[in-house]
């Protein structure tokens, strides 16, 4: 496979993911540029960690696309850990592109839509309110799957084994909400809308008793694992669009 102009890929990503339209505390888009004009290998990762950057460098990545970047709402002091990450990027002449909420909610390669498609459920509509952004996805369980136990088995087979299951609601499941990452803050919205189930990533002690008192079923997949879906799908999409190989990098935190 050949190489593609970096600017062409970045411009496409900005438009395809609606980077400028979706308000986010994360600084998204091309956050670290490089001197290379073309891209022959793309890396995708959940986190812009030192391990991910080192592995990407070893595998000849020109452009690394991540879900979690460096900058979260304010100017960042470049301490030792960030300096090390930036140094590896500079030494490798590797560009870094970030897509946080735009990748979570994308209707083709997003963490939410992608997972629901893999599970074989029917996506209905965006759900929830996070600073004006609908960060979740309402879905309908396919016919033939009716209980929490059956749903957990399907998730384990097609996606990955859940980290935990809070079985506090009714056994039968028809409708639910999926929201990757750390989304327990919209738990009350899920319950108010009468959903049978909430599938999300990160657990929280503070929300355990809330879910129990609300009698709301919650399946927890792990923050990291729930947000590996989108970057992998985006890598496949770019491979098909531009004919460029991609590689998934980074450490599975197990969280």
Per-residue pLDDT, 143: 77
Q: Where are the domains of the chain?
A: 4-99, 111-223
Region 4-99: CATH code: 3.40.1390.30
The predicted pLDDT at position 1 comes to: 62
% of the chain beyond a pLDDT of 70: 100
Distance CA 169, CA 112 (A): 22
Q: Phi and psi at residue 128, in whole multiples of 5°?
A: 90, 160
* pLDDT at 37 > cutoff 70: yes
CATH of 111-223, one of 3.30.70.1150, 3.40.1390.30, 3.30.460.10, 1.10.357.10: 3.40.1390.30
Render pLDDT for 114-168 as a digit per residue (tens, 0 to 9): 999 999 999 999 999 988 899 999 999 987 778 999 999 999 999 999 999 999 9
Model confidence over 185-211: pLDDT tens digits?
999 999 999 999 999 999 999 999 999
**Helix axis angle, 80-92 relative to 50-58, nearest 10°?**
10
Concatenated DSSP letters for the chain? Answer: ---EEHHHHHHHHHHHTTTTTS--SB--EEEE--S-SEESEEEEEEE--HHHHHHHHHTT-SEEEEEE-S-BSS-----HHHHHHHHHHHHHT-EEEE-SHHHHS-TTT-HHHHHHHHHT-EEEEEE--BTTB--EEEEEPPTT--BHHHHHHHHHHHT---SEEE--S-SB-SEEEEE-SS-GGGHHHHHHTT-SEEEES---HHHHHHHHHHT-EEEE--HHHHTSHHHHHHHHHHHHHH--EEEE-S-----
Instruction: Report pLDDT for 239.
Output: 97
| Alpha-carbon distances of 194 from 29, 118, 157, 159, 213, rounded to whole Å | 36, 24, 27, 25, 15
Q: Are 201 and 220 in contact (CB under 8 A)?
A: yes
- Whether 4-99 and 111-223 share one fold: the answer is yes
């Amino acid at each position: 496979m050949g190489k593609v102009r970096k600017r062409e890929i970045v411009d496409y990503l900005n438009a395809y993911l609606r980077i400028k339209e979706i308000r986010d505390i994360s600084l998204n888009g091309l956050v670290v540029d490089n001197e290379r004009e073309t891209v022959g290998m793309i890396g995708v990762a959940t986190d812009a960690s030192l391990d991910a950057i080192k592995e990407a460098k070893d595998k000849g990545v020109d452009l690394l696309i991540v879900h979690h970047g460096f900058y979260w709402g304010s100017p960042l002091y470049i301490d030792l850990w960030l300096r090390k990450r930036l140094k590896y990027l500079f030494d490798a002449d590797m560009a870094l592109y970030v897509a946080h909420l735009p990748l979570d909610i994308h209707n083709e390669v997003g963490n939410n839509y992608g997972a629901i498609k893999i599970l074989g459920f029917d996506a209905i509509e965006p759900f929830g309110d996070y600073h004006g952004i609908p960060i979740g996805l309402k879905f309908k369980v396919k016919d033939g799957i009716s209980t929490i136990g059956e749903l957990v088995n399907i998730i384990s087979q097609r996606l990955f084994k859940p980290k935990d299951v809070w079985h506090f609601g009714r056994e039968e499941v028809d409708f639910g909400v999926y929201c990757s990452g750390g989304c327990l803050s919209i738990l009350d919205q899920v319950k108010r809308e009468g959903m049978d189930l909430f599938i999300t990533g990160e657990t929280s002690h503070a929300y355990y008793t809330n879910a129990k008192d609300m009698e709301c079923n919650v399946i927890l997949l792990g923050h990291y694992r729930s947000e590996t879906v989108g970057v992998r799908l985006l890598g496949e999409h770019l491979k098909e669009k531009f004919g460029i190989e991609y590689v998934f990098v980074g450490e599975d935190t197990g969280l």
